[in-house]
Amino acid sequence: MKYTIKLHISNYKEFVSSNQVLFGDLFFKNDAFTKFRIHAFSLVSRKYKTLKSNRIAFLDRILEIQKVHRTLNYFEHSYFDGNHAPSLRVYVDDIDKLSQNTEDWFNHSEKVKQDYVDNFSSKSLHSLFPNTTSLLQAEKGFEQLISDITNEGFLKRAPSVQPNHNQRIIEIETVQSEMRIISSNLEDFIEYFDWRKFYITHFRLF
């Protein structure tokens, strides 16, 4: 979330800064006379037409930031919601506060991040996780493997279907270790079987 919102905020600030260079304080003035002036001049002036368009884009970019924040919704933030603010700078100040809140949340969210890693699975995926299909395929493969091992009865115990990715890895590693032990013992058993067969064949009269 941090990097997604920070990217939107960074782009937003660059947009604001470039417009301040182009239009000065006029870009931020939002009283009724200034709005009328910008609208009227935009009909005949390319500069004012661009100014009017960029002021609309200014507010649209805030809506994009709000959408990202509210989609993930890791922490609360009350956005400025006034339609008649005398200056658009109040929106800039509001986004600055959001940026600081994002930093504060990220710097104090170790437990949240650790819980997410510990419980990682397709049922608890972050909305920004890019490879959902591969994870689902891996989980289905794990479940099929556990089912095959259980049905074949290779092990005395029945391997369990674990709820998250980390526990599945641990279970697979445990099964692999147990199978190696069985495989190693089978080599000794084959040697014993050959010896026993030879003994019974050649010494059964004794």
Arithmetic mean of pLDDT, 106-129: 70
pLDDT in tens, 70-102: 887 778 888 888 777 899 999 999 999 999 988
pLDDT in tens, 34-54: 999 999 999 999 999 999 999
The reported pTM is 0.56
pLDDT of 111 over the 90 cut: no
Predicted confidence at residue 45, as pLDDT, reads 94
- Helices within the chain (DSSP H only): 2-23, 32-42, 46-72, 89-107, 110-118, 132-152, 165-203
Q: Between these two residues, 144 and 58, which has the higher pLDDT value?
A: 58
pLDDT in tens, 4-31: 788 899 999 999 999 999 999 999 999 9
Predicted confidence at residue 126, as pLDDT, reads 64
pLDDT band at 65 (very low <50, low <70, confident <90, very high): very high
**Whole-number Å distance between alpha carbons of 1 and 106:** 9
pLDDT of 64 over the 50 cut: yes
Backbone φ and ψ for 68, nearest 5 degrees, come out as -65, -45
pLDDT of 106 over the 90 cut: no
Beta carbons within 10 angstroms of residue 168's beta carbon: 22
Arithmetic mean of pLDDT, 173-194: 70
Q: Between these two residues, 184 and 49, which has the higher pLDDT value?
A: 49
Most confident of 55-64, 168-177, 184-193: 55-64
DSSP state, residue 158: P
